[in-house]
Amino acid sequence: MPSKFLSMKKVLLLILIFISANLPAQNGITKADIHLKIIETSDVHGCVFPQDLVNQRNRKGSLAQVQTYVKQERAKKDQIVLLLDNGDILQGTPFVYYYNFVDTNQVHQLAAVMNTMKYDAGTVGNHDIEPGHAVYDKFRKEINFPWLAANAVSNTTGQPYFKPYVILHRAGLKIAILGMITPAIPNWLPEKIWSGMHFNDMVKTARYWVPYIRQHEHPDILIGLFHSGTHKSYGFHDANEPVEDASRLVAKEVPGFDVVFAGHDHRLDNESVLNPDGKEVLVLDPAAHAGYVAQADIHLKFNPKTKSYDKAVTGHLVSMAPYAPDKDFMNKFLPDFVQVKKFVDRKIGTFTKSIDARDALFGPSAFVDIIHQLQLEKTGAEVSLVSLLSLNAQIAKGDVYMHDLFKLYRYENYLYTLSMSGKEIKNALEYSYGLWYNTMSDKTDHLLLFKMDKDGKLVKSSFTGKPALKNAYYNFNSAAGIKYVVDVSKPVGKRIRILSMADGKPFDMNKTYRVAINSYQGNGGGGTLTQGAGIPKADLSKRLISTSDKDIRFLMMKWLEEKGKIEPKPLNSWKVIPEKWVKPAAKKDYEILFGPSR
């Protein structure tokens, strides 16, 4: 018995020695060279399939194509692949709208898609918050990977509402991923949507969590996964607000990151910045709609002297256009595609005339005025403010289908009614047309306010290749319920002359009016009410008279179904003067943006 016992001890000891020799060393360090490839999607906005069900055409990018690329890379034996998503995936197409609001009794099919693709981690985006608690709280329970947002903090516990970071173990490496969301959400979304939490500054949040992760986790690699842009202007920002687009800022000001993945601003970016330690930090942004993925290749070589890895990091932006959709993916989710297609192909009503969003840049248009009519009827407001949400959309006369409503109203905004004085309404319009129209001195000037370089030449958009407008068209508000003129020969702030109410009654600058507006702008988005009307951000909630319980697109669907047939026509509640300058300028600018006018 003793001899057998001793021999068994020897065997066990040999096994332990063998296991120990093949286990990762402490802190995740192994004596090997490793190639880690990290693939990021961001701002996918529901582009799961290569078919665009709204515009009835194929897409250049989709998660079905991303799956093909990821499978290809995972099949390579000389590298480790991580797949990350950086938010804004739950809004943007009929597919996600359907499973957000229509078919809610089963597992959200986007969760099923992302689980099939085996995402390793994701970050929450502002448009993921937009569908409301019922949607995103359910969704995060259904995905098989952590959903991160360290700076979205619970009001009750003081701890992150979502998971702040995750540690992934791969080939002996400890990889830390810190997630954050743009903190500007209260500027756009009603509080009921994000109730129970608040959003902290990203730099301050990173300065807390990076040392915490370093001290408690001792990772070999630290990745920032931030749903926040990289533009040097930092997006919406003033002294009293946290920075909207802070990804680049965090990379520069908070030492410790090896790679920062960005998103939110729909801009391609592949650059390196110096952090406070003088080390280069790679910053990557794949823009939007799964047209590209951002890819960081990290080559790690073990250094026996320092007992750590020397790292070489390179970045790539990979177009998905050359990749065919994955066949297994398409077959698996074909029933869901068919179900959503049936939903969007359902007839809603009939238009007796065609409508075109392009007309709305140059004056009153049936495209925008249908939304004005809805807002005035549904709220009983005296004045309506509506911005142009689609720049190049058309709906043909005849039968109108559900997919047409995604052209007419792109976002899941709610309908607000606010109290505003006559002077505040005028100032809001002054602000809007200041973003929209150039100050003209004669008919040779541009009517539209284009982006110009230092030599006064038109700057082309990196997305369309055509001249770009200086400001975002989704902040170009017109009004209904009143009659007014816009005199573009006058400077910004002195252009608007309100003639009367729509029924001819006097308009009073000192009177308080009920104003219908979408929730994005009603919460301060775009600056229409804060910078334009001059209403303090803190006072906006005090002005709120009512809010819809459904989004504006849903209200439009029910409204059109009730009416059956509509004759779309401009309300002609405003015009741009002087007409002898405006008409030739409008024709010229139309052709610059869209080609020969009709």
Beta carbons of 179 and 231 less than 8 angstroms apart: no
Pairing mode, strands 414-421 and 221-227: unpaired
Give the per-residue pLDDT at 3: 45
- As separate numbers, helices (DSSP H) first and strands (DSSP E) second, the chain gives 17, 29
Give the model's confidence band at 597: pLDDT under 50 very low, under 70 low, under 90 confident, else very high. low
Give the per-residue pLDDT at 330: 98
Give the per-residue pLDDT at 598: 56
Distance from C-alpha of 135 to C-alpha of 72, rounded to nearest angstrom: 32
Give the model's confidence band at 28: pLDDT under 50 very low, under 70 low, under 90 confident, else very high. very low
**568: in domain:** yes
CA 82 remoteness from chain centre: 23
Instruction: Return the H-helix or E-strand segment holding 311.
Output: strand 308-319
Distance from C-alpha of 402 to C-alpha of 417, rounded to nearest angstrom: 26
Q: Which is higher by pLDDT, 462 or 197?
A: 197
The answer on 321 and 460 residing in a single domain is no
Distance from C-alpha of 36 to C-alpha of 136, rounded to nearest angstrom: 31
pTM value is 0.88
Tokens of 158: 């003081």
For 246-285, what is each residue's pLDDT tens digit? 999 999 999 999 999 999 999 999 999 999 999 999 999 9
The answer on 459 and 383 residing in a single domain is yes
pLDDT at residue 240 tops 70: no
The answer on 358 and 241 residing in a single domain is no
Distance from C-alpha of 522 to C-alpha of 482, rounded to nearest angstrom: 19
Last residue of a domain, one of 318, 340, 362: 340
Where in the sequence is the domain holding 123, given as residue range(s)? Answer: 25-340
DSSP state of 230: -
Q: Residue 318: which residues within 8 A CB-CB, separation 6 or more?
A: 69, 292, 293, 294, 295
The answer on 351 and 269 residing in a single domain is no
The answer on 519 and 439 residing in a single domain is yes
The answer on 588 and 494 residing in a single domain is yes
**14: in domain:** no
Average pLDDT of the chain? 92
How many C-beta neighbours within 10 Å does residue 303 have? 12
Angle at the Cα of 64 from the Cα atoms of 62 and 69, rounded to 5 degrees: 95
DSSP state of 124: -
Measuring CA to CA, which residue among 36, 57, 59 is closest to residue 46?
59
Instruction: Look at the block and give the residue holding tokens 């995060």.
Output: 140
The answer on 307 and 419 residing in a single domain is no
**3: in domain:** no
DSSP state of 460: B
Q: Which amino acid is at 285?
A: D
Where residue 352 falls (left for φ over 0; alpha for ψ -120 to 50; beta otherwise) is alpha
Give the model's confidence band at 234: pLDDT under 50 very low, under 70 low, under 90 confident, else very high. low
Measuring CA to CA, which residue among 234, 254, 253, 236 is closest to residue 245?
234
Give the per-residue pLDDT at 7: 52
**372: in domain:** yes
The answer on 362 and 331 residing in a single domain is no
Instruction: Give the three-state DSSP class for 233.
Output: coil
For 411-422, what is each residue's pLDDT tens digit? 999 999 999 999
pLDDT at residue 526 tops 70: yes
pLDDT at residue 11 tops 60: no
For 358-395, what is each residue's pLDDT tens digit? 999 999 999 999 999 999 999 999 999 999 999 989 99
The answer on 148 and 279 residing in a single domain is yes
Instruction: Give the three-state DSSP class for 121.
Output: strand
What's the number of CA atoms in the CB half-sphere (13 Å) around residue 117?
33
CATH of the domain at 498: 3.90.780.10
Last residue of a domain, one of 340, 358, 393: 340
Q: Residue 76: which residues within 8 A CB-CB, separation 6 or more?
A: none
Q: Residue 564: which residues within 8 A CB-CB, separation 6 or more?
A: 349, 350
Would you state the torsion angle of the CA atoms of residues 343, 264, 62, 83, taken in this order, to the nearest 10 degrees? -120
Tokens of 572: 């002609």
The answer on 352 and 336 residing in a single domain is no
Tokens of 11: 């065997």
Give the model's confidence band at 306: pLDDT under 50 very low, under 70 low, under 90 confident, else very high. confident
Measuring CA to CA, which residue among 281, 273, 286, 362 is closest to residue 590?
362
pLDDT at residue 14 tops 50: no
Distance from C-alpha of 420 to C-alpha of 544, rounded to nearest angstrom: 10
Tokens of 41: 């999607």
Distance from C-alpha of 485 to C-alpha of 483, rounded to nearest angstrom: 7
Distance from C-alpha of 128 to C-alpha of 136, rounded to nearest angstrom: 7
The answer on 377 and 278 residing in a single domain is no
Residue 276: cis peptide before it, omega within 30 degrees of 0: no
Give the model's confidence band at 19: pLDDT under 50 very low, under 70 low, under 90 confident, else very high. very low
Q: Residue 113: which residues within 8 A CB-CB, separation 6 or more?
A: 48, 63, 329, 333
Tokens of 429: 């319009």
Beta carbons of 253 and 209 less than 8 angstroms apart: no
Last residue of a domain, one of 340, 371, 391: 340
Distance from C-alpha of 521 to C-alpha of 514, rounded to nearest angstrom: 15
Distances (CA, A) of 529 to 55, 526, 533, 550, 551: 33, 8, 5, 22, 20
Give the model's confidence band at 238: pLDDT under 50 very low, under 70 low, under 90 confident, else very high. low
Distance from C-alpha of 529 to C-alpha of 522, rounded to nearest angstrom: 7
Classify the C-alpha dihedral 140-141-145-148 as positive or negative: positive
Measuring CA to CA, which residue among 491, 501, 368, 395 is closest to residue 434?
491
**17: in domain:** no
Instruction: Return the H-helix or E-strand segment holding 545.
Output: strand 544-551
**87: in domain:** yes
CATH of the domain at 280: 3.60.21.10
Distance from C-alpha of 228 to C-alpha of 283, rounded to nearest angstrom: 12
**10: in domain:** no
The answer on 106 and 224 residing in a single domain is yes
**16: in domain:** no
Distances (CA, A) of 305 to 170, 179, 264, 308: 23, 32, 41, 8
DSSP state of 353: S
Structural domains of the chain, count: 2
